[in-house]
Amino acid sequence: MSGLRRTGSARIELRRIGLVAHPTRDVEAPLRELVEWARAHDADAVQIPFHGERRLLDEGRPDECQLVVAIGGDGTALAAIHRAASAGRPVLGVACGSLGALTTVEAPAVRGALERFATGDWLPRPIPALRVRRPGAGDEIVFNDVAVVRRGAGQLRLAVSVDGTLYARLAGDGCVVSTPAGSSAYTVAAGGPLIAPELEAFALTALPTHGGYHPPLVLGSRSRLELEIRSGYGGGRLELDGRAVDGLPDALAVSFEPGAATLVAFPDQESHIAGLRRRGILVDSPRILADDERS
């Protein structure tokens, strides 16, 4: 992986570790473990600022680090991915709470995870992204989803085209376009498809609409999705990875970007589907659960 130095034994020389921390959650215990491991291995630990969160360590840049550690949850991991991707650095997600889709280990396992990374006992998990282009603005890279949603009364009107062919015209609350990583969040909540992490595809899911038929659409990695947007008198907003963008554009173009970032994974960690079941996102039929209780 570009930018990482390895010795003859495949051990990665961790000279500096970057931290992205949840802005309000208690991260004292895993942070202490990270700092103590770094000191014991003659490495520095620095904090990579993102949105002006509380200062826990001296500030540093992701390109100065060999690893970026996110301590918090999926939102914190997503922030770390945004900061680390441009520098080509891998992200280790540490969950303070339930293990999420973008986190790899729970807080008590920080030391062991750092040791496994340093000794080369890890797997790079490529994370795709969406490239979003809007008139009058530069391209944006999104790792979870793009949402176009109405802001008040009235409906949004969208004309959706795929590779230059009209797919559907929608009048309603808007739509969500997601990566495989983001498909288990807003997309599933809106009734869209769950995309396997290894699949190079992205999905369009309409939010509630006023009639018509336009099922959730899974697009291949070479497809280009185009949206023409008109808002009602209540207006609308554009959200990129949950962040509201000033002004609603009248058009968007969305394309797939494979391998835009890297997460640290371990061979023995739970599978994506197992994690979704444990978190209650995938739930068995009530009749089956009732049969289990009777038996």
- Active site (catalytic) residues: 74
Distance CA 181, CA 175 (A): 17
State the sign of the Cα–Cα–Cα–Cα dihedral 150, 171, 158, 163.
Answer: positive
Residue 68 CA to residue 88 CA, distance in Å, equals 10
Query: Exposed, middle or buried: residue 210 (CB in 10 Å: 0-12, 13-18, 19+)?
Result: exposed
Residue 115 corresponds to which amino acid?
A: E
Looking up tokens 């969040």 gives 185
Q: How is residue 126 written in tokens? A: 């490529």
Whole-angstrom Cα Rg for the chain: 21
Q: How many CA atoms lie within 13 A of 193 on its CB side?
A: 17
The phi and psi torsions of 149 (rounded to 5 degrees) equal: -135, 150
